[in-house]
Amino acid sequence: MHNQRTLPLLLLTALVLSACATRQPEMQTVAKVDIDRFMGRWYVIANIPTFLEKGAHNAVETYTLDSDGSIATNFTYRKDSFEGKLKEYNPRGFIRDTESNALWGMRFVWPFKGDYRIVYLDEGYTQTIIGRQKRDYVWIMARTPEISGQDYDRLIEFVASIGYDVSKVQKVPQRW
């Protein structure tokens, strides 16, 4: 028979264990990113969009490494159409794992830094996938505004393999 003190402890233990059971496995990053090669312009090919990105056309993310080691980021897109209003955001990236350079904190609003993981990067630094541990948002990006259907399918398969619901992934219209 349990006394009144034991019941809350048992409930708390059950809650903690159930939370651990449903937790996604740690999302691995790529082993190593040559940060200088990664810098520059990336076209957003597809994503699970944040509320800011819904309806984005011609979405582009550009990274510049600053002398303090942080990453100046310029994110632009046209809202709802190719002729829509130009939107621009300038979050700042902070490398959290300097051994791999693949785990960043991305700050839109001080002092909060969102999870940003380079989970896929081809050898030529022409295609990348950025993920988050929560598997709520993902970005497939390339150095060109279009990629082949075969490449797109392969990248979507990778996104599925790391635990994302790919039915939520949307192509971002690109026309230049």
For residue 47, the cross-strand partners are 139, 170
The CATH T-level fold of domain 26-171 is Lipocalin (2.40.128)
pLDDT at residue 21, rounded to an integer: 41
**Confidence bin at 6 (pLDDT 50/70/90):** very low
* pLDDT tens digits for range 40-83: 999 999 999 999 999 999 999 999 999 999 999 999 999 999 99
Judge contact between 95 and 101, C-beta under 8 A. Answer: yes
**Confidence bin at 15 (pLDDT 50/70/90):** very low
| pTM for this model (two decimals) | 0.85
The mean pLDDT value for 120-145 works out to: 97
In b/e form, how buried is each residue of 122-159, taking b as 16+ CB within 10 angstroms?
Answer: eeebebbbbbbeebebbbbbbeebebeeebbeebbebb
Higher pLDDT residue, 85 or 4? 85
In three-state secondary structure terms, 62 is strand
* pLDDT tens digits for range 57-67: 999 999 999 99
**Confidence bin at 114 (pLDDT 50/70/90):** confident
**HEC-encoded secondary structure of 116-151:** EEEEEECCCCCEEEEECCCCCCEEEEECCCCCCHHH
